Amino acid sequence: MKKLLQQAMIDRLIALTLLVSALGYFVDIFDLLLFSIVRVQSLKDLGVAEADLLTVGIQLLNAQMAGLLLGGLVWGVIGDKYGRVSVLFGSILFYSLASIGNGFVTDVGQYALLRFISGLGLAGELGICVTLASELLPRAVRGLGTTFIATIGVLGAAAAALVADRVGWRDAYIIGGVMGLALLVLRLKVRESGLYLKMAEEKKDMKRGKLSLFFLKPDLLRRYITVVLIGAPIWAVVGIFITFTPEFAKDFGMTVLPDTGTAVLYCYIGLAFGDMFSGLLSQYLGSRRKSIAFSLCLLLAFTGLFVTVRSDSLAVYYGLCWLLGVGAGYWAMFVQVGAEQFGTNLRATAATSIPNIVRGLTIPMAAGFHALIPALGVTGGGLMVVTLAIALAFAALWQVRETFHADLDYLDL
């Protein structure tokens, strides 16, 4: 009876950890996509001219992504050196205060700084949550844990769209920050990873969270780069096609322009569906690689539809955004693969930094898109960037090892 009670307590703690992780990713996505939703209105309110909205918007997006890029490295190292749970407290506090600050900016400079700090804080969320889920759950169902986190999490974009539609952009940022502070309280009961505790106890002198190992060992670097490339198309779609909805709609010749917030809403509903589908497909096939390959095929087909279907109907446009989301909805499996490719001493560093490196790729992808517009136009430039990202993802997927049945109780020495 005592053992049964102990197991029930452990199961409840694991369930709580998964729930808190899912809500953390929900808040993460809420803030990240909120900027895309309120970009135009917030910049107009800050006095940015209509002609400069695209250029300034890209600059602020780059500031946010730069924060994610740096934060992914910092929080990942902390997660491997001092524990997974420590990151869950630090990152959400960092983000919450910065998000509230976004509601009080008075110029573009302040806005850019706080978007950078917000990105820095949010960078610790997803990778650490997936690392915890992967190390706490049995190998046969750990992919389902990540699928749950991602499916609930991406609905944060839908919440951001609904909140931004009902309150001003400043209030929307404040609401996001308050949600983060509320989540901080729930995290007091989150359980630390048993694999991490075992490593910390038995391998006190083990090199943990050492970034230089990724550059000193060619095999580690190869694994790292291939996983990054697998995830690149997801943010190529979100960071270009969806974020710059007004620009694409004008290029498509639409007379009534779609709303960016609504485009984000439909895309992320599609992403939630795609994440759930790709996770279940991976479970059914017993393969991460096959599931991701199927999603990439869908994404390529739906990208073709997005740039070729010409309709003045808002319903058609939003439907295409939903399809793009379905195709790009392998985020959970991509992050799961990132966590499973590395040993316990480097897992948090890899799983936390990889998705943020992918998000950070928005910077060169947005710059490439901007540079291609004079030669190829908005549609041609966007298509070139997205299809190149998909092609590189297919090539990387061919190289990465299958990890569905892999035992995660090992170290990268």
Q: What Rg, from alpha-carbon coordinates, does the chain have? A: 20
Residue 218's contacts (CB-CB under 8 Å, 6 or more residues apart) are none
Q: Higher confidence at residue 380 or residue 138?
A: 380
pLDDT in tens, 308-343: 988 888 999 999 999 999 999 998 889 889 889 988
Structural domain contains residue 336: yes
DSSP 8-state class, residue 102: H
Distance, CA of 149 to CA of 22 (rounded, Å): 4
Predicted confidence at residue 330, as pLDDT, reads 92
pTM for this structure? 0.82
d(CA 103, CA 9): 41
Note down the domain range covering 229.
2-189+208-399
Evaluate whether residue 124 is within a structural domain.
yes
How many separate domains does the chain show?
1
| Residue 79 is assigned to a structural domain of this protein | yes
Q: Which two tokens stand for residue 162?
A: 């609904």
* pLDDT for the residue 206: 66
Residue 404 lies in a domain: no
CA atoms within 13 Å, Cβ hemisphere of 79: 36
Cβ burial of 375 (10 Å; 0-12, 13-18, 19+) is exposed
Residue whose structure tokens are 């997927």? 397
Q: What are 195's two structure tokens?
A: 């694999």
Per the listing, tokens 């947005």 go with: 366
Cα(21)–Cα(62) distance, integer angstroms = 26
Q: What confidence category does residue 2 fall into, taking pLDDT thresholds of 50, 70 and 90? A: very low
Higher pLDDT: 7 or 118? It is: 118
* Mean pLDDT for the stretch of residues 296-306: 95
CATH code of 334's domain: 1.20.1250.20
pLDDT tens digits, residue range 33-87?
Answer: 788 788 888 999 999 888 888 788 888 888 888 888 888 888 888 888 888 888 8
Nearest CA among 99, 103, 104 for reference residue 116: 99
pLDDT at site 5: 41
In a domain, 197, yes or no: no
Q: What is the pLDDT of residue 396?
A: 96
Cα separation of 26 and 126, whole Å?
10
Tokens 């799961």 belong to residue: 336
Cα(42)–Cα(49) distance, integer angstroms: 12
Q: What pLDDT does residue 100 have?
A: 94
Q: What angle do CA 387, 245, 329 make, to 5 degrees?
A: 50
Asked whether the predicted pLDDT for residue 7 surpasses 50, the reply is: no
Is residue 279 within 8 Å of 332, Cβ to Cβ?
A: yes
Q: How far apart are CA 299 and CA 303, in angstroms?
A: 6
Among residues of the chain, what percentage have pLDDT more than 90? 34
Select the more confidently predicted residue: 243 or 413: 243
Assess whether pLDDT exceeds 80 at residue 210: no
Whether 229 is in a domain gets the answer yes
The separation between CA 45 and the C-alpha centre of its own chain, rounded to angstroms, equals 28
Extract the tokens encoding 329.
């909805």
Cα 352 from Cα 130, distance rounded (Å): 9
Residue 156 forms part of a structural domain: yes
Residue 410 lies in a domain: no
Instruction: Say whether pLDDT at 127 is over 50.
Output: yes
| Cα–Cα distance measured from residue 76 to residue 362, given in angstroms and rounded to the nearest whole number | 20
